[in-house]
Chain A
Amino acid sequence: MSFERTQEKLKILADAAKYDVSCASSGSKRSNASKGLGDATGMGICHSYTEDGRCVSLLKILLTNYCIFDCAYCVTRKSNDIKRAAFQVQEVVDLTINFYRRNYIEGLFLSSGIFKSADYTMERLVAVAKKLRLEENFNGYIHLKSIPGASDELMKEAGLYADRLSVNIEIPTREGLKLLAPEKNREDFIKPMVKVKNEIIQYQSEKKIIKSTPKFAPAGQSTQMIIGASGESDQQIMWTSNYFYKKFNLKRVYYSGYIPISYDSRLPQIGTDVPMLRENRLYQTDWLMRFYGFEVHEILNNDHQNLDLDVDPKLGWALRNMEHFPVDVNKADQLMLARIPGLGMKSVYKIIQARQFRKLNWDHLKRMGVALNRAKYFLVCDSRDFERRDLTGPQLKSIILQNTTSKYQKILSPQLNLFE
């Protein structure tokens, strides 16, 4: 491996890959049974953090940033005047192994610009994963990008070696895609996703009968959408997300605030702020859908197409649906407890456990570490003391905002606690 050449390639191809925000390295079950290298059974470790506070867990690079497409929102697009580079398959294998052995990373996240054709590109991504698994006996985490339009055979092979596969749909709406990436069509994204989904289902049913069935993408599939590049509404984003979760059994959808990289008049101009707060609100909504029992249309619908920026989506929902409150913490079921603003799932479980022993009052709740500054307006407990004023949503909102101004500063950080 020639150091200088590898160094230059790595700079170019890591820089081009950084816009993919997924960094998950958990959810696989690949153990090191044969005394080889690596183990991906655990939770996934962040080995470091970038200056922007994101987890560094995987070696995240493109195989190449040569691309025959010209998607407006992408730095790698054909018409962009940038340095291009391409790794050899073996170079990526060597880098991964050497980084892994030094405990820098949990594994590899390999994506690529599309050179020559979808299959030609996918073939090389698969070759890297295959070499790592079969020649290096590597059991660390591998995330491969599914190249839109890649053949079913290649996707099947990819799933045998990778822990996770992802296709980024990037633009949430058909119209947006037409505008910004006219050469691409949605079917090309969906095809590899369908194949992988079906293979996973088949693997799971076969495994019940034959224990030794080779693993297939044990950490599942994910996708990413760019936020704020095509004028889409939050409703469009989250309904699309919901559709993909349900239809393709996705493990995760990532939302990535668009980082201006071009003077193209179809896009926000360079210098425009990255919509980080909006991105955060979308993640919160995503959590409400996946863990809090909310249906997407409860939070976003034709009457309410965009999330509030000044309050989190759960509080926003509560303020629009005051008829459900106050909730009695000593009686309400788990789903309703989970809807109390300010209450995280941890607190919900604590309440359910603790109330088996005694009726809970404010003191109990406080001692258990339940954050009450917002929740107190929405619940009653074993006490005569509760919010008696019959406040309307907007009145209550202004009271809450006045009391929590400083807290809202924190929301500008990208990875804050989702529900403080």
Chain B
Amino acid sequence: MLVSEEHTLIYDGTFDGFLTGVFDVYELKLQTVIFQRPESVQESLFGNTLEITTDLNKADRVWKGIKSKTSARGSSRLYAAFLSGQWQVEALLLDYIQLAFESALLIDSDFSNETVLKISQIAKSVGREKHRMEAFVRFRLTNDGIYFATIEPDFDVLPLISKHFKNRYADQKWIIYDMKRGYGLYYDLDKVEVMQLSLPEGFDATKTKSDYFIASELEFQTLWQDYFESTNIASRKNMKLNVQHVPKRYWKYLSEKLR
């Protein structure tokens, strides 16, 4: 009999890295594991530490396996929950994956199961933020002819919104940059690529300086702010409802809220 031993798996924080870890868990028949990202590694006194080397082949096999044991909705929930980056979400995900592999039935709608319920709740809040970002991204046209937007979402939603923006803005170059996570998406009229910017010293993403943005950019912002004010009906004002729809933490990059 195997002695139940705790293993700490250190992976690179990517989804492929995580899936590679899942592969190793099965291959090495590990019992109790804790996933850690390099930035959050804590020395553990007991158990063993394993460094996971991301292997696209392994990741792919695990992902295919997951897809064959879950509905489309279930597997996209897993991915969304992963992007939440929530503390120890990997353990929950592993739990879910193991459940799915063991069960003869699809477990995705078995909400009386705590793991399934939790994953679906996390995925739901990530999904909510995905929709919010699709709504709240505000592009500004740079002097280089690129529509540029900055965001600071709670979760790592860029991978989820990529397709939406690619379909919609097929004929303009754009960048959506996550200031919190320090990376962005760049669409070059052909494909979307992940990119990192070295932002100029003292760059303030909430300001529209002519060093970076075209001269008429501020005019369009003004027109938009004017429009926003004109379309309001004062006798129906209801700020509580407004804040509920557009939480204040998102206001920073919303041009209509900057007045």
Q: Which residues of A contact B (CB under 8 A)?
A: 3, 6-7, 10-11, 14-15, 17-19, 31-32, 35-39, 41-42, 45-54, 56, 59-60, 95, 98-99, 101-104, 137, 259, 274, 276, 367, 413-415
* Complex interface: chain B residues within 8 A of A102 (CB): 138-141, 147, 220, 224
Known contacts A48-B256, A49-B246, A52-B232; A37/B170 CB under 8 A: yes
Are B236 and A276 in contact, CB atoms less than 8 angstroms apart?
A: yes
Are B245 and A53 in contact, CB atoms less than 8 angstroms apart?
A: yes
Q: At the interface, yes or no: B40 with Cβ under 8 Å from chain A?
A: no
Min CB distance B160 to A, Å, is: 14
Are A45 and B232 in contact, CB atoms less than 8 angstroms apart?
A: no
Q: Find B228's partner among A39, A46, A48, A413 (CB 8 Å cutoff).
A: A48
In the docked arrangement, what's the CA distance between A3 and B219, Å? 7
Q: Find B172's partner among A47, A101, A259 (CB 8 Å cutoff).
A: A101
Are A18 and B245 in contact, CB atoms less than 8 angstroms apart?
A: no
Tally B residues with Cβ within 8 Å of A.
46
Min CB distance A155 to B, Å, is: 27
Which of B137, B216, B223, B256 has its CB near the most chain A CB atoms (within 10 A)?
Answer: B223
Which of A45, A137, A414 has its CB near the most chain B CB atoms (within 10 A)?
Answer: A45
Min CB distance B172 to A, Å, is: 6
* Complex interface: chain B residues within 8 A of A35 (CB): 170-171
Q: Find B134's partner among A32, A45, A259 (CB 8 Å cutoff).
A: A45
Known contacts A18-B232, A59-B227, A101-B147; A36/B135 CB under 8 A: no
Are A413 and B241 in contact, CB atoms less than 8 angstroms apart?
A: yes
Beyond contacts A52-B233, A101-B147, A103-B137: 12 other A-B pairs, Cβ-Cβ < 8 A, are A10-B227, A14-B231, A19-B233, A37-B168, A52-B236, A52-B242, A53-B242, A56-B231, A99-B224, A102-B141, A103-B169, A276-B236
Min CB distance A10 to B, Å, is: 6
Known contacts A51-B242, A259-B235; A10/B167 CB under 8 A: no
Q: At the interface, yes or no: B196 with Cβ under 8 Å from chain A?
A: no
Are A39 and B233 in contact, CB atoms less than 8 angstroms apart?
A: no
Q: Find B241's partner among A53, A59, A259 (CB 8 Å cutoff).
A: A53
* Complex interface: chain A residues within 8 A of B134 (CB): 45
Min CB distance A103 to B, Å, is: 5
* Complex interface: chain A residues within 8 A of B237 (CB): 51-52
Are A51 and B223 in contact, CB atoms less than 8 angstroms apart?
A: no
* Complex interface: chain A residues within 8 A of B227 (CB): 10, 14, 59, 99
In the docked arrangement, what's the CA distance between A49 and B135, Å? 11
21 inter-chain pairs at a CB distance below 8 angstroms, sorted by A residue, are A11-B226, A15-B231, A31-B167, A35-B171, A45-B134, A45-B135, A47-B135, A48-B135, A48-B246, A50-B233, A52-B237, A52-B238, A101-B147, A101-B172, A102-B220, A103-B149, A259-B235, A259-B236, A276-B236, A367-B112, A415-B241
* Complex interface: chain A residues within 8 A of B168 (CB): 32, 37-39
Are A7 and B220 in contact, CB atoms less than 8 angstroms apart?
A: no
Query: What is the 8 Å Cβ interface bit string for chain B, positions 162-190, against chain A (1 contact, 0 not)?
Result: 00100111111000000000000000000
Q: At the interface, yes or no: B254 with Cβ under 8 Å from chain A?
A: yes
Are B230 and A46 in contact, CB atoms less than 8 angstroms apart?
A: no
In the docked arrangement, what's the CA distance between A292 and B138, Å? 39
* Complex interface: chain B residues within 8 A of A414 (CB): 236, 238, 241
Q: Find B138's partner among A59, A104, A276, A367 (CB 8 Å cutoff).
A: A104
Q: At the interface, yes or no: B15 with Cβ under 8 Å from chain A?
A: no
Q: At the interface, yes or no: B222 with Cβ under 8 Å from chain A?
A: yes
Min CB distance A19 to B, Å, is: 8
In the docked arrangement, what's the CA distance between A14 and B236, Å? 17
Min CB distance A233 to B, Å, is: 23
Min CB distance B197 to A, Å, is: 19
Known contacts A35-B170, A102-B224; A413/B238 CB under 8 A: yes
Q: Which A-chain residue is minimally distant from B241 (CB atoms)?
A: A53
Q: Find B232's partner among A11, A31, A50, A259 (CB 8 Å cutoff).
A: A50
Q: At the interface, yes or no: B239 with Cβ under 8 Å from chain A?
A: yes
* Complex interface: chain A residues within 8 A of B245 (CB): 46, 49, 53
Q: At the interface, yes or no: B131 with Cβ under 8 Å from chain A?
A: yes
Are A101 and B235 in contact, CB atoms less than 8 angstroms apart?
A: no
Min CB distance A417 to B, Å, is: 12
Min CB distance A392 to B, Å, is: 37
Are A6 and B242 in contact, CB atoms less than 8 angstroms apart?
A: no
Known contacts A47-B135, A102-B140, A103-B149; A37/B169 CB under 8 A: yes
Q: At the interface, yes or no: B136 with Cβ under 8 Å from chain A?
A: yes
* Complex interface: chain A residues within 8 A of B138 (CB): 102-104
Are A49 and B172 in contact, CB atoms less than 8 angstroms apart?
A: no
* Complex interface: chain A residues within 8 A of B171 (CB): 35-37, 137
Known contacts A47-B136, A413-B241; A18/B231 CB under 8 A: yes
* Complex interface: chain B residues within 8 A of A259 (CB): 233, 235-236
* Complex interface: chain B residues within 8 A of A39 (CB): 167-168
Q: Which B-chain residue is minimally distant from A12 (CB atoms)?
A: B230
In the docked arrangement, what's the CA distance between A276 and B172, Å? 42
Which of B134, B138, B233, B239 has its CB near the most chain A CB atoms (within 10 A)?
Answer: B233
Known contacts A48-B246, A49-B245, A50-B232; A32/B223 CB under 8 A: no
Min CB distance B75 to A, Å, is: 21
Are B169 and A56 in contact, CB atoms less than 8 angstroms apart?
A: no
In the docked arrangement, what's the CA distance between A31 and B164, Å? 12
* Complex interface: chain B residues within 8 A of A46 (CB): 135, 245
